[in-house]
Structure 1
């Protein structure tokens, strides 16, 4: 029995694994998705916005299929953010996700986006309440006059301090911008759990860099620096509360789930054929996922000779879920300690290397000294997770596989 759902903000660039993570979050009783903020990344921001609106409509149809009606006030806010990095040139991952970010589901007529998806994102000064909507008119999400960074800050200001967590599974532009705009409000986040970086292994878009950190290395380095002074202890937790009460910036609890810790968070082609294909057309979520997973498994084999899909973003969500019992004081970490390994690092991100932009940098030397001139970061880095448990979680949560955990 889940005592209380943890409110979360998802900062994302859907994206195939983003879509699976979003569905898993919306279907997980441990968390309540307050807002979904959108960034450039896997594809252009325009495609990201269309995909996000489509995902929310698919999920609304899924809830209707299950006989669930969610009050308008309880729907997530959808907020568009940055269409490019803070400083660097724009890159994308359309080679993997397709030009539309969803495995070309629209051009292949495998799924249709709402025809008015752009208008749906426009905020109206006065939105209707539940009983004012006719059948078939209910929205799938709430709109906002704010951009993504301001919506993140708004959500944090409106909630009690250290209660909302952020799941960041795209380039960190929106997150860094929120920190730059208002470090005091930013410090109210309980923690920021990030899929990104290659800490102790090779990158995937360059020899040294993972895509999200490479797509905006400046933003990633800013977010790592927000951890200076963080201590994962009862004293550190109280210090954060004290700073917030004094209207001062509190150090952030940043958790990074890097590429090298995420490869076990996968679904094999055998799983796909056994558990996912058979539920096609049975639920709206399963139908939509089947539409883009055809492309995905073909692409994994064509590009990497792999018959499995590493679902990094959903794997990172499971990390966040397993951390919900820890309010930020380093206690109640039994679930995390049972299923994950981690370490705390003074980690920075290279922003200007010819060959190493986006690389995670920490001092591997054995003696203890201050390694960097710009302060000591304290980033919690996941080093290993339980891939089999994740596999069962996502198949159960998203595809109703009924596998015994």
Structure 2
């Protein structure tokens, strides 16, 4: 039976590819897509999620809008990486799919409480919605199989210490990391191993599906910003790594370690503090991603995109 998942995202080029990967993989069943402010403001990320869901053929999957602001901070976005819309590069049609009338947190809670089996949450943006879910509906924990998130790492891309998703709402991240739920963190140490270079883009252009061609366009823009900002020669597909682990846990290795989130550091706000040598004596709470099986990852993604329209 496919594993039920709920995707919480802020599309975002790599979020879009993550949705395509999940939609084209029979091993998982997307129950819902929820949106959060992050790569772009909430109106843009919701519109982008509707567009991508349409392109992936997810007509039956509800898309619900979530938090437009962090728990206690002012929203930050990443227009210099994803553009003002969050999905700059390809032409984006107006979506015909409409947003669910429920708030993302309420819809997620309702689906979890009504589920026949626990559902895995796959957040690939700031963790605001997940934190609100745990605060507002604490009884829902028993219905969550685990959380597989993209965020964090031993270094940052928004500051020297902080990865963007955690930096954007560190208070929410701390709530999630301290929730006691099974958490797998696909941070930058792992996702920077998932680089889409020229060979991968050429394959996508020749794959013959609209989803694959659209993905190649996304990667053209995304690779350009990563090259200009960080000197990367290829685009890291961060968010797809979290989905890949939800599909098959053999796609990367993990180490179970104590991890906390810094919320007040002068230079380290948003840092995921990974106690690699377990010096604090705290119990491990996060499965930290280490080594990506690149052959498996790219096979997963290519197969998924070839199954889509």
User: Structures share a fold, TM > 0.5?
Assistant: yes
Shift of 1:377: 5.8
Q: Aligned in 2, Cα 1:393/1:78: closer, same or farther, shift over 3 Å?
A: same
Q: Could you list the structure 1 runs, at least 4 aligned residues long, displaced by more than 6 angstroms after superposition.
A: none
Q: For 1:2-401, what aligned pairs fall within 5 Å after superposition?
A: 4-60=1-57, 75-105=60-90, 110-114=91-95, 120-121=98-99, 143=100, 145-161=101-117, 163-198=118-153, 201-227=154-180, 252-273=181-202, 275-279=203-207, 282-323=208-249, 336=250, 339-363=251-275, 369-370=281-282, 376=283, 378-399=285-306
Aligned 8 A contact 1:111 1:291 in 2 = no
What is the TM-score when the length of structure 1 is the normalising length? 0.71
Q: Aligned in 2, Cα 1:385/1:76: closer, same or farther, shift over 3 Å?
A: same
1:286-307 Cα deviation digits (max 9, x unpaired): 3432333332222232223322
Task: Report which of the two has the higher share of strand.
Answer: 2
What is the TM-score when the length of structure 2 is the normalising length? 0.92
Aligned 8 A contact 1:178 1:186 in 2 = no
1:66-106 Cα deviation digits (max 9, x unpaired): xxxx8x7xx1111100001101221111111111111243x
Shift of 1:283: 2.6
Instruction: Give the greater-gyration-radius structure (CA).
Output: 1
CA RMSD of aligned residues (A): 2.1
Shift of 1:368: 6.4
Query: How many Å separate the matches in 1 of 2:64 and 2:278?
Result: 45
Q: Structure 2 regions of 5+ residues with no counterpart?
A: none
Aligned residue pairs: how many?
308
Q: Aligned in 2, Cα 1:365/1:381: closer, same or farther, shift over 3 Å?
A: closer
